Each structure stands twice: as C-alpha cells, then as structure tokens.
Amino acid sequence: LIDGMPKTEYKVERNYLFGMGDHRDNSLDGRFWGFIPEENIVGTPMIVYWSWDPNIALFDIFSKLASIRPSRIGTLIK
C-alpha cells in the first residue's frame, strides 16, 4: 500500500531513496518506514553489526538469543 492504495509499482522521486533489509520477507525496511530523504544519508554501510533469526519472536528471549548468527557478525558488506 502507498498512501492507503494498493500499488504494483511506484517511482521513487528525485532526492529520495528506498532502503531494503537483508531479510526481504521480514524486514522493517523502506516498506515499513517509507522513503528516505537523500540528505538524511550520512554514510555507507560497511559491516554487519548484529544478526539473529528474524523468524523468532522478540518476546521469546531465550530462543532469540540462541538464534544469534555469529558467522554473519562482522561480515563486510560489498
């Protein structure tokens, strides 16, 4: 939905960016937060800081902690 209306495509206007998370089906990314004004971008991502299984409910703290993916932490972003 964009402005409450179903859409199959949308052109991002000049000076705005669309951010997409690395877990396409379950990310709080541009589909949740909206478009980002270009002047709000202050850097380039370089590294994966933290990673855990997004399919584990946040309130299930022990399972969430057990789902930490150490192999991804510290990975350089290309």
User: For 14-35, what is each residue's pLDDT tens digit?
Assistant: 899 888 777 777 777 778 888 8
Within this chain, do residues 49 and 78 fall inside the same structural domain, yes or no?
Answer: yes
37 with 48, same domain: the answer is no
Q: How far apart are CA 3 and CA 71, in angstroms?
A: 39
Whether the model pTM is above 0.85: no
The whole domain housing 60 covers: 44-78
Residue 31 sits in the same domain as residue 56: no
Query: Which amino acid, one-letter code, is at 5?
Result: M
- Regarding whether 38 and 10 lie in a shared domain, the answer is yes
pLDDT of residue 3: 78
Q: Are residues 30 and 56 in the same domain?
A: no
The domain tally of the chain equals 2
16 C-beta neighbours (distance < 10 Å), count: 13
What contacts 52, CB < 8 A, 6 or more positions away? Answer: 64, 65, 67, 68, 69
pLDDT digits 0-9 by tens, 41-69? 898 889 988 888 888 888 888 998 899 99
Residues 54 and 70 in one domain: yes
Domain shared by 34 and 55, yes or no: no
